[in-house]
Amino acid sequence: MNRIEVLRQYIDNILLNMLDVEERRCAYVHLYGVAQYCALIALKRGENVELAIMAGMLHDIYSYAKMDTKNHAHKGAVLAREILTSLQITNEDETKIICDAIYTHSEKGLVHFAFNEVLKDADILHHCLYNPTLEIMPHEKSRYEKLKIEFGIV
Ligand SMILES: [Fe+2]
């Protein structure tokens, strides 16, 4: 099995143990959805697609595993490192790249390394396109508008 699928199998096991069915549905849709937008954006920007998918799959795992969103980016980076270390599917450099992106992913008002920005923008795209008939959250608007331009939508 390739390492993306190894990671997905591990994450699926966490999600399957979520007792709240609606939260479980959100978790699957969001983690898989963000991972796919990560792939799309990474392809467009010449970033590492495989690592981007892995970051997307892991980015909110803390929130769903612990049912606690407080400081989930920082705590999630620690949990992601534990998961990647136990699965032995990344080297130290790759683990650092993924975990750094997870650590900064809530800071949408700041700009970090290009790889970190892939995850933030994928998160925004998923929020905005999950149901495009709903109003875009004010703090997501400017990134969303830039993404539409980048992808030639407007
Ligand atoms: Fe997210």
pLDDT in tens for each of the 154 residues of the chain? 899 999 999 999 999 999 999 999 999 999 999 999 999 999 999 999 999 999 999 999 999 999 999 999 999 999 999 999 999 999 999 999 999 999 999 999 999 999 999 999 999 999 999 999 999 999 999 999 999 999 999 8
Q: Which residue has the tokens 């699926």?
A: 12
- In the reported structure, the alpha carbon of residue 52 is separated from the centroid of ligand 1 by a whole-number distance in angstroms of 13
Ligand 1 geometric centre to CA of 122 (Å): 8
Cα 139 from Cα 136, distance rounded (Å): 8
Say which residues have a Cβ less than 8 Å from residue 149's Cβ, sequence separation at least 6. Answer: none
CA 34 – ligand 1 centroid, Å: 7
Say how far apart CA 10 and CA 45 lie, in whole Å.
Answer: 28
pLDDT value of residue 90: 98
Q: What is the CA(119)–ligand 1 centre distance, in A?
A: 9
Distance 30 CA to ligand 1 centre (A): 7
pLDDT at 154: 84
Distance 123 CA to ligand 1 centre (A): 5
